[in-house]
Amino acid sequence: MFNKVLYLFLFLGFFSCKNTPENSAATQPKLVVGVVVDQMRFEYLNRFKNKYTSKGFLRLINQGYSCNDHHFNYVPTYTGPGHASIFTGTTPSVHGIIGNDWYDKDKDEVVYCTTDQKYDPVGAAVKYGHVSPSNLKVTTLPDQNRLFTQMKGKTIGISIKDRGAIFPSGHTANGAYWFEGLEEGKWVTSTYYMDELPEWVKTFNAPLNISNYLKTWNTLYDINLYNESGPDASNYEKPFKGKPDPIFPYDLKALMEFNDGYDILKNTPFGNTMITDFALAAVEAEALGDDEYTDFLTVSYSSTDYVGHDFGVNSTELQDTYLRLDLEIERLLNYLDTNVGEGNYSLFLTSDHGAAEVPSFLKDIDAPGGYVQKNMFTPLYATLKAKYGVSDLIKNISNDQIFLNYDLIKSMQLDLVDVQEFIVNDIINYSAVSKAYTATTMQTSYFKDGMEKTLQNGYNQKLSGDVLFTLKSGVIAYGPKGTTHGSGYTYDTHVPLLFYGNGIQKGKTFERTYVTDIAPTISALLGIAFPSGATGSVIEKAIY
């Protein structure tokens, strides 16, 4: 009899525990942290593995869930579209951020992805401070959490770049902050979010505090140990102004006057240190993770991108930046353990794009690579004039797209599709061009995979151009030193994806996953609605 009573008690207790709203709420993470490492190729996890500590990137890998064949499934692979896609769970074809900037066909001008003249900068005289998330056409993961919690769950977005703070945090954020260097060196925001900086941000902006990041940048370890990278003295790197050679050490205080003042911090690992410090200050001041409503913190480490652009993916400077970032990840995790509680938060880490090897380096080792000449399309104008009798049928060429002059085409009674196809058939013969397609093809055909599918996912019917093209592997439009990104090749699309913390399984997968899968996966973890335009899938094995 006693055993039957005990069994009944345990049985009822089990179901009452499993099904009560109180218990369900208690299992939810108090805080979700979305970390984006700007321009991080997947290979950096393995290439620098022997130099990482066990408590940063390797903690996330060993105690979390790693997706090892994770890719962007669209072009162009730039910062704005990358951050937007990660947090909306869809591609530029849906969310509308088709580049960092693009030619606006209605305004007949190039526009920046976050520009919104209805709002003013807050905190400093910011040149590009008239910004908001208005160009983002769908909701984000943090937006859906705010809606689910009746706006009680907070969202704070942080990045050195405005687009790295604004797009992840979405339309309903309580605050988004980015760094304005130049003469002032301040963290700023826009009137879209608030009319005055909070006191904790003002305190952080104290000149003495910001100036403390202006250190001498030397290698974290003995430079002779950096054998995972090329030599420090390299002809493939772009040096700081005021220093003839790109070699350690770098005296930032001495160099800042030649490099836009406090903006020099962006191009060093100390920019990432500042981001971590600001993020920790935000968690404390905004009481993130303090109550029963899940909060969101989005952190975009931007300095890796600036360093990558200047020094390239094979540089000692880049390796040192990642070894130092590993310590920043460790510091962030330790702080969350102590202040939010180990097991009380969920975190994911990914990147907004990768980067190409420096083409001059590729050429020196006889690998495919090269540069686009600024006048590459000059012959196209002459060809169009010979065919149609006019030379101004093109309005703009940018983001690997060609925009046509609709008014002129209409007045000349030309067939738009014929003009598009004529251009495609012409430029496909250019030595630097790999593929070319018309906008009509993007609208009327379905591509299942390959470069064509990435083009289609990046094509927005209202915003994109009339002809889309891709360059050959290793070919970039950039200067002879340093590198860039934007293509659909694996060096730009293959990035890390690590899940960690509350609700996350331990393990790894080599199944193909996409950037658009992140937001649905975290939505499923939280039990909230997917972002409104989400097209990705839940990575089921990553979550309980």
What would the pLDDT profile of 436-493 be if each residue is shown by its tens digit?
Answer: 999 999 999 999 999 999 999 999 999 999 999 999 999 999 999 999 999 999 999 9
Q: Which residues are catalytic?
A: 79
All domains of the chain, ordered by start, with CATH?
Answer: 29-356+486-542 (3.40.720.10), 373-431+433-471 (3.30.1360.150)
Mean of all residue pLDDT scores within the chain: 94
What would the pLDDT profile of 26-70 be if each residue is shown by its tens digit?
Answer: 489 999 999 999 999 999 999 999 999 999 999 999 999 999 999
What would the pLDDT profile of 74-130 be if each residue is shown by its tens digit?
Answer: 999 999 999 999 999 999 999 999 999 999 999 999 999 999 999 999 998 777 789
Q: Which of 502, 488, 432, 421 is nearest to 459 (CA)?
A: 488
The number of beta carbons lying within 10 Å of the beta carbon of residue 485 is 27
The per-residue pLDDT for 112 is: 98
What would the pLDDT profile of 149-201 be if each residue is shown by its tens digit?
Answer: 999 999 999 999 999 999 999 999 999 999 999 998 999 999 999 999 999 99
Whether cis (ω within 30° of 0) applies to the bond prior to 368 is: no
The per-residue pLDDT for 544 is: 84
The per-residue pLDDT for 15 is: 37
Question: Span 226-230, mean pLDDT?
Answer: 97
The per-residue pLDDT for 444 is: 96
Proportion of the chain above pLDDT 90, given as a percent:
93
Question: Span 347-360, mean pLDDT?
Answer: 98
Q: How far apart are CA 105 and CA 370, in angstroms?
A: 31
Q: How far apart are CA 358 and CA 133, in angstroms?
A: 33
Residue 494 has pLDDT above 80, yes or no: yes
Residue 6 has pLDDT above 80, yes or no: no
List C-alpha distances in Å: 88 to 220, 515, 517, 519, 532: 36, 10, 9, 6, 8
Contact (CB, 8 A) for 103 and 396: yes
Q: Which of 119, 109, 121 is nearest to 189 (CA)?
A: 121
Contact (CB, 8 A) for 460 and 135: no
pLDDT band at 374 (very low <50, low <70, confident <90, very high): confident
Q: Which of 298, 265, 303 is nearest to 283 (CA)?
A: 298
Q: Which residue has the higher pLDDT, 347 or 22?
A: 347
The per-residue pLDDT for 356 is: 98
Residue 407 has pLDDT above 80, yes or no: yes
